[in-house]
Amino acid sequence: MNVEKLKALLDDMSLDEKIGQLLQLTGLFFQKDVVITGPEGKCGFTDNDINLTGSILGTMGAEKLKKIQDEYQEKQPHHIPLLFMCDIINGYRTVFPIPLAQGCSFDPDLVCRAAQISAKESAAAGLHVTFSPMVDLVHDARWGRVMESTGEDPWLNSLYAKAIVEGYQGDSDHIGHGKIAACVKHFAAYGAPIGGREYNTVEISERTLREEYLPSYKAAVDAGAAMVMTSFNTLNRTPSSGNKKLMRGILREEMNFDGVLISDWAAIEEMVQHGVVENREQAAAVAIDAGVDIDMCTTSYAHNLKNLIEKKIVSVDLVNEAVWRILTLKNKLGLFENPYKDADAAEEKNIILCEAHRNEARKITADTFVLLKNENILPLAENKSSVAFIGPHIENREIYGFWSMYGEKDQTVSIADALRERFTDVKVAKGSPMLDASVGARVYADRKDLTATEEETKALLEEAETLAANVDTVVLALGEYRAMSGECKSRANICIPDCQMELFRRVHAVNPNVVVVLFTGRPLDIRDISQKAKGILVVWQPGTEGGHAIADTLYGEVNPSGKLSMSFPYSVGQVPVFYNEMRTGRPLKVGEEGYTSCYLDIPNTPLYPFGFGLSYSDFSISPITLSEDKMRVSGEMKASVNVKNTGSRKGKIAVQLYIKDHYAAVARPVRELKSIKKIELDAGEEQTVDFVIDRSMLEYIGPDMNYTVDPGVFSVYIGDCSTTENEAVFEVV
C-alpha cells in the first residue's frame, strides 16, 4: 500500500479501532474451543478488545493462523490484518543451540545462518515477528536468562545482534518471502538485575549503560530491527516501560529508531507494582507518553486511553503516532496485499525439519561446543569399544533450551540415539535422576520422571558403578535440565545438581578416565569436575541435532572450536566476573596479596575465562608485527600474527584482538575485545592473520559523555583467549 493510502486509512479509523491496534493478546483468545483460565482469564478483556486487537502472540501454524486472520479481518471495520508474533529464539522446529552457545562460536556468519533457517521455517508457519534477538549483556551467571544472551562482551554481542537481525529480516525495508521481522529486547539493561534475581532492580551509571549495555541494542537498530521490546526492570529507579528519557530520548532520538516499541508482558501494568503510578490508567498515560506503542496482554491501554484523551491527559496525537508505526510495519511485511504473508501448509510440511535444515543444524551445533579440558582423552577412537556412556542426559531428548516451545522431543537426537546409529553395542546407563527432589518440585512438580526415590537412586548409582568399572573410558553426560535456566530461573547455587555430582564422584572413584559432557544454560561452578575429569566438553542446550553433533565431536569428525563468550566463575562468590573489568588502584599480583584487591579464599580469576576454548589441534601464534609504532588518531595501522596449526588434524581457531588504553581521562577496562578472525588450518598449515586497528577501536566515552580518543600509549594483544600476553605497544599521536 502506498503511503498516501496508508495515511488515508489512519485518518478513517475510529478512536476505538486505533486503540485496538495498540493491544496485543495471546492466540488463546482466538481459539473458539479454548476456555481461558489462569492469568489471561482474569485480565478482563471484552469481546470488543478481542475483535479490535492489532496483534497476537504465541500461536503458530499456517492453517491455524490463516483461519484466525480470515475471521478477524471479517470483523475488523477496515479489514486491517493482524500481526502474528512469537518467541522463536533459537529455532522453530529445527532447534539450534541456545543463544549463549551460539555466542561461543565466535562466528557471526554461523549465527546469521541459524536465524535464516528459523525465519524460513517460522514464516512458512505463518509468523510475522519474532521476539528475538535478546541482546542483553550479561555478567551474572545466577540469572537464568543468560542462556538467551550471546554473552558478556559489548563488542561481540553487537556483532551477533547485527547478524541475527539480518538473518531474520534480510532487507529491512521490505521484509520479503521467508523473512520475519526482528524485535530486539529487552530495552534496556535487563541483563543486570541485582543479585542475578529475575525481574529485580537495575542500578547502573549512565556511563556503564552507554559503554557496556547500549551498544548491542544500537547494533540491532542500525541493522534495521523492525521492533524493540521494553524490559521489566526499573533502570535507576524508573521502570523502562515508562522511561521517557530512555525510550524517546535514547532509543528514538539518539538511535533513530522509528519502528514499533512493544512492552514486555504486562510491563505497563507492572508500573503499579513498582509503585511509580497509582493505577492502570496512570500507567497507560506514562507509557504512551514514553513512546510505547503496544501494550502486551493487559487492558491498560485498551480500557484507559479513550478516557485519558477525553480528559485531555493524553493527546490523540500520541495514539496516532503509535498506530502509524504499527500500520507501517504491517505494510512493510506486505500484509495489506497478502495478510497471510508466507503461511503455507504445504511449504511448512516440506521445509520444517527437512534434511537440509537438520544437516546445517548439525554443523552449526558442533561449532558452539567448548572444550574446556582434554588430558589426551579426546577424541575417542571408534574402534575402542570399551566406552560407557552414563548420565541422565545420555538418553535425554529435552535438550533444546527453555525457550524452544516448538522443539519436539520425538524429533530430537539424544546422545544415545546418535551412538546407536554408529554402533551396534552401546553401553549406556542413566546413573542418576536428572534433578534433586527439592529443585524438581520447583521446576515441574508433575514430572516425576525427572526425580527419583532414594531406593531408585541407589540402584541407578550401583548400575553405573558396575558399568564404569569394566570399561576403559566413561563419558558422563551431566548438567542442567532445560528448565533450570530461562525466564524466572535464577539460581543462587550455580552447580550441577547434587544427585548428578554424587554420580560423578562414584564413577570417578572406580574409573578415573572420565570425560564430562556438560549440558547447561549458564556458566556453572564446576571446580570439582575441573580437577578430576580428564576431559570436559560444554555442549550447552544443543537443540534438535545435539546428539549427532556431540557424537561427531567425541569421535573427532568435528574438531571443537568454540570459545567461551561468558566466563565460568571459580565459585558463585566471584559473580559477577568478566574479563573486561575496570582497573583498580591496588591490582593483585599473585604472591603479593597484601592490601590488594583480592579474596582471602578464592582467586580473582575465573575458572575458565572469556575467549577460552581448546581444540584437538595445537596452534602457535607468533609475536605481533605492527605496520607502524605510531598511529594518528584518525589513522589506521596493521597488526599481524602468524598462526600455525602444529597439531595433527585440521582445526579452526578464533584469533582475538584486544586493546588496552594505558591512560585516559576516566578509568578504562583492563582490556577490550575489538576484533576476531576465525580461520581454519590443515595440520601443519600456517597463515598470516592481519587486523586493521582504527579509531573505532581506540575510542571511549570521555568525561563530557562524548566519544573521544586520547593520544598516548596503547597495547594490542592478539591470541586465542582474553588472557593472552602476546602484546605489542604503540603510541597514538
Residues that bind ligand BGC (CB under 6 A): 57, 87, 131, 185, 264-265, 487
Closest separation in Å from C-beta 567 to ligand BGC: 24
Residue 325 CB, nearest distance to ligand BGC (Å)? 19
Q: How far is the CB of 49 from ligand BGC (least distance, A)?
A: 18
Alpha-carbon gap, residue 12 to 18, rounded angstroms: 10
Q: Which residues contact 259 (CB under 8 A, 6 or more apart)?
A: 225, 226, 227, 228, 325, 329
Query: Smaller CB distance to ligand BGC: residue 140 or 720?
Result: 140
If the CB atoms of residues 68 and 318 are measured against ligand BGC, the closer one turns out to be 68
Q: Are 635 and 701 in contact (CB under 8 A)?
A: no
* Share in percent of the chain as helix, strand, coil (round to 5): 35, 20, 45
Please give, one letter per residue, the 3-state secondary structure of 490-556.
CCCCCCCCHHHHHHHHHHHHHCCCEEEEEECCCCCCCHHHHHHCCEEEECCCCCCCHHHHHHHHHCC
Residue with nearest beta carbon to ligand BGC: 131
In the complex, what is the shortest distance from the CB of residue 233 to ligand BGC, in angstroms, rounded to a whole number?
11
Q: How far apart are CA 175 and CA 332, in angstroms?
A: 6
Q: What torsion, rounded to 10 degrees, do the Cα atoms 719, 723, 724, 729 define?
A: 110
| Residue 182, SS3 per DSSP | strand
Rounded-to-integer distance, Cα 403 and Cα 145, Å: 10
CB closer to ligand BGC, 186 vs 678:
186
- The alpha carbon torsion through 13, 16, 18, 24 (nearest 10 deg) reads -140
- Smaller CB separation from ligand BGC, 131 or 616: 131
Cβ atoms of 496 and 526 within 8 Å: the answer is: yes
Task: Specify the amino acid at residue 47.
Answer: D
Nearer Cβ to ligand BGC (87/672): 87
Nine cell digits for residue 345: 501448509
- Nearest approach, Cβ of residue 89 and ligand BGC (Å): 8
Q: Which amino acid is at 701?
A: I
Q: How wide is the angle at C-alpha 11 spanned by C-alphas 261 and 300, nearest 5°? A: 40
Rounded distance between C-alpha atoms, residue 129 and residue 123, angstroms:
9
Residue 687's identity, in one-letter code, is Q
Distance of CA 158 to the CA centre of its chain: 12
Q: How far is the CB of 297 from ligand BGC (least distance, A)?
A: 8
Q: Where are the beta strands (DSSP E) in 10-98?
A: 23-26, 55-57, 83-86
Assigned C-alpha cell, 330: 504491517
In what helix (H) or strand (E) does residue 699 lie, and over which residues does it extend? none
Shortest distance in whole angstroms from residue 43 CB to ligand BGC = 15
**Among 404, 458, 455, 395, CA closest to 430:** 395
Residue closer to ligand BGC, measured from CB, 120 or 185:
185
Which residue's CB is nearer to ligand BGC, number 264 or number 465? 264
In the complex, least distance from residue 487 CB atom to ligand BGC, rounded to whole angstroms: 6
| Closest CB to ligand BGC among residues 57, 219 | 57
Half-sphere exposure at residue 105, Cβ-oriented, CA atoms within 13 angstroms? 25
Choose, from 136, 264, 344, 710, the residue flagged as catalytic: 264
HSE-up of residue 470 (Cα within 13 Å, Cβ side): 8
Report, in Å, the least distance between residue 613 CB and ligand BGC: 28
The three-point CA angle 280-283-286 to 5° equals: 155
User: What letters, b where the CB count within 10 A reaches 16 and e where it falls short, cover 158-181?
Assistant: bbbbbbbbbbbbbebeebeebbbb
Determine the Cα angle at 324 with ends 321 and 330, to 5°: 150
Which segments within 6-118 are labelled E, that is strand? 23-26, 55-57, 83-86
What is d(CA 338, CA 331) in angstroms, rounded to the nearest whole number? Answer: 10
Residue 182 beta carbon to ligand BGC: minimum distance, rounded to whole angstroms: 12
What minimum distance in Å lies between the beta carbon of 118 and ligand BGC?
Answer: 15
Query: Which residue, 266 or 517, has its beta carbon nearer to ligand BGC?
Result: 266
Q: Are 457 and 501 in contact, with CB atoms under 8 Å apart?
A: no
Q: How far is the CB of 438 from ligand BGC (least distance, A)?
A: 25
Distance CA 53, CA 83 (A): 10
Is 266 or 471 the residue whose CB approaches ligand BGC more closely? 266
Asked if the peptide bond before residue 97 counts as cis, ω within 30 degrees of 0, the response is no
- 516, containing H or E segment: strand 514-519
Nearer to ligand BGC, 326 or 429 (CB): 326
For the chain, the residue count is 733
Rounded to 5°, the CA angle 382-384-385 comes to 100
Cβ of residue 266: shortest distance to ligand BGC, in angstroms? 8
Smaller CB separation from ligand BGC, 17 or 87: 87
In Å, how far are 162, 183, 375 from 529, measured between CA atoms? Answer: 36, 39, 13
Are the beta carbons of 433 and 450 closer than 8 angstroms? Answer: yes
Beta pairing class for 55-57 and 83-86: parallel
Indicate the residue type of 481. Y
Which CB atom, from 71 or from 487, has the smaller least distance to ligand BGC?
487
Whether 47 is catalytic is no
Active-site positions? 264
